[in-house]
Structure 1
Amino acid sequence: MAGSPAQAANLVNGEKLFNANCAACHMGGNNVILANKTLKKEALEKYEMASLDAIKHQVAKGKNAMPAFGGRLSAEQIEDVATYVLEQSQQGW
């Protein structure tokens, strides 16, 4: 089995949140602003972003051109979207 129902629900919600909030700049794990700083596994590892905590921090606080979503998304929503991003990076987008 691919995971628990709770985990699956989080990934489904994470995908919806990603599509609504992140896909404009990060469609398919890419980055339209800084082309080398993608959400793909190799880039996440290179820039020390390949952990759930690092991704959650980036989503909540933002950095450089990326806005902070901490005021727009709940902690649970940030967890869901970060889990989705990490899962997708490990699967090759």
Structure 2
Amino acid sequence: MFQNNCASCHPNGENIIRRGRTLKIKALSKRGLDSSEAIAQVAREGIGQMSGYAETLGEGGDVIVGEWVWQQAQKAWTQG
């Protein structure tokens, strides 16, 4: 789901539009996004210049994206 909806702006947890607003653990924590639920809320409702994607992600899609992004952030976006 991330690859289809988020990766174009956030490849490997980066941010091609606002470089400091990455999905890396340090950047997320700095903005108070310290859980999968907080990330899901951003995916659903948007934040700053980023629009929300509730309709695009569908019911429960925000939770799937939030959990996956949080797991990747905890692993520093490394494979394995």
Alignment TM-score, normalising by the size of structure 2: 0.89
Contact 1:33 1:65 in 2 (8 A): no
Q: Residues 6-55 of structure 1, C-alpha deviation per residue, up to 9 Å, x if partnerless?
A: xxxxxxxxxxx100000011001001111011000111111111212211
Question: Which residue is 2:20 aligned to?
Answer: 36
Question: Which residue is 1:4 aligned to?
Answer: none
Question: Which residue is 2:63 aligned to?
Answer: 79
Matched, 1:65 2:49: yes
Structure label with greater radius of gyration:
1
Counterpart code for 2:37: D
CA distance in 1, matches of 2:60, 2:45: 15
Q: How many residues align?
A: 77
Q: What's the RMSD between the two structures over aligned residues?
A: 1.0
1:69 Cα deviation from its structure 2 partner: 0.6
CA distance in 1, matches of 2:10, 2:31: 16
CA distance in 2, matches of 1:55, 1:26: 13
CA distance in 2, matches of 1:51, 1:60: 14
Q: Which has the higher contact order (CA 8 A, sep 6+)?
A: 1
1:71 Cα deviation from its structure 2 partner: 1.4
Percent sequence identity is 34
Q: Higher helix fraction: Structure 1 or Structure 2?
A: 1
Q: Higher strand fraction: Structure 1 or Structure 2?
A: 2
